Amino acid sequence: MSATTAITNIASLVTNDPALGDGSPLGLIENATLIVEDGEVAWAGPAHRAPAADTAHDAGGRAALPGFVDSHSHLLFAGDRTAEFNARMSGRAYTAGGIRTTVRATREASDEALAATLAAHLREMLAQGTTTVETKSGYGLTVDDEARALRVAAAHTEEVTYLGAHIVAPEYAESDASAHDAGGADAYTALVAGEMLDACAPYARWVDVFCEEGAFGADQARAILTAGKAKGLIPRVHANQLSYGPGVQLAVELGAASADHCTHLTDADVDALAQGETVATLLPGCEFSTRAVYPDARRLLDAGATVALSTDCNPGSSFTSSVPFCIAIAVREMNMTPGEAVWSATAGGARALRRTDIGRLSPGARADLTLLDAPSHVHLAYRPGVPLVAQVWRRGVREV
């Protein structure tokens, strides 16, 4: 038998297993002990009933919760968009190109530079309690640049998403004077669903499309996602962020794991999410950073949809790596309860990534957990902006 470690003196433990603890979705246990063996949770329950373990680690009366599962980020990028953000927040027009600025810088960056930026952001996320991160391509937009972004990503995380369909590549955009030969958005869609997919599929688990006016329409998105499925990738969709549109319905129709953003939803969209398997992933850092209206989390939750909460960390529209920050916004601005927001950032993220081994702290789960310098998970919203994450463990090993 391998050695067991008891994490003792946990003031309150979020297990996300309703069968444990107080019967709520959080499966909350007060005065808890967690026993870890071989990188997994072997036992979770009240301290007075804990079985013996080989070694003990005193949590010091802190709260413990599953490591955050950040199921939506864009970390394969280079360059800087400070000026764009500053102009937007100063009420000035900014015309220097948005995503295209990042595409240009990313294409020019070396593999080593991309990897270093990715690793730096993953460290930043880990220090804030995030133990699983999904990340996407989408700033290369050529066969070689997309494939190498995913190759770099796959060396750092198992949750890699092919987003060749982030925007129409500048060479194909009809508005671009230099796009004379390439043949427009349909030609780019064919590339994304064909040669680019072939080059990218070996490094990715997921395929994603930015389905939005000005990016990719329903037919283009369906073609790309269907081609991705045929290559064994599972769809997820950037849907209904900036306007009402077909993204959510398409996500549900194609059995996507997640429809992300969900800011502008009709009643039919909400019903489709509530009745289907597709998770609604909300990304309030984006609305915060663009002074936009937040998605209506309450409406989705009350309808019975599964809601995940993620950062959308990217250099343009949401340059935060902090899940605690997103939890605080979700509670203050989106009428989620602290418990719902914590669930969505842990178990909800796991659902959005179709994972059952993370996002919970019950027997058989990975021992990925965060200890807070606070007696309860509620403090993540109650004390916004305060660095409460005291320790982070992954697979039973303390890393922070």
Give binding residues for Zn(2+) as ranges: 72, 74, 238, 312
Q: Closer to Zn ion by CB, 134 or 312: give it.
A: 312
Cα pseudo-dihedral 197, 199, 203, 207, rounded to 10: -10
Provide, rounded to whole angstroms, the least separation between the CB of residue 3 and Zn ion: 41
Distance CA 391, CA 343 (A): 19
- Would you say 118 and 156 are in contact if contact means Cβ atoms under 8 Å apart? yes
Helix (H) or strand (E) holding 248: helix 247-253
215-to-60, 105, 247 alpha-carbon distances in Å:
50, 20, 12
Provide, rounded to whole angstroms, the least separation between the CB of residue 284 and Zn ion: 13
Provide, rounded to whole angstroms, the least separation between the CB of residue 318 and Zn ion: 8
226-to-26, 174, 184, 210, 220 alpha-carbon distances in Å:
36, 25, 21, 14, 10
Q: Closer to Zn ion by CB, 179 or 313: give it.
A: 313
Contacts of 274 (CB under 8 A, 6+ apart): 300, 303, 304, 305
Q: Closer to Zn ion by CB, 131 or 258: give it.
A: 258
Distance CA 248, CA 211 (A): 9
The two structure tokens encoding residue 255: 């059995």
- Residues in touch with Zn ion (CB under 5 A): 312
Give binding residues for 4-imidazolone-5-propanoate as ranges: 81, 139, 166, 241, 317
Provide, rounded to whole angstroms, the least separation between the CB of residue 144 and Zn ion: 22
Q: Closer to Zn ion by CB, 73 or 362: give it.
A: 73
Q: What residue is closest to Zn ion based on CB?
A: 312
Nearest to 202 by CA among 232, 159, 165: 232
Q: Closer to Zn ion by CB, 312 or 368: give it.
A: 312
Provide, rounded to whole angstroms, the least separation between the CB of residue 306 and Zn ion: 19
Provide, rounded to whole angstroms, the least separation between the CB of residue 72 and Zn ion: 6
178 alpha carbon, distance to own chain's centre? 35
**Across the strands, what pairs with 261?**
239
Q: Closer to Zn ion by CB, 28 or 259: give it.
A: 259
Distance CA 71, CA 218 (A): 23
Distance CA 222, CA 241 (A): 18
Give binding residues as ranges: 72, 74, 81, 139, 166, 238, 241, 312, 314, 316-317
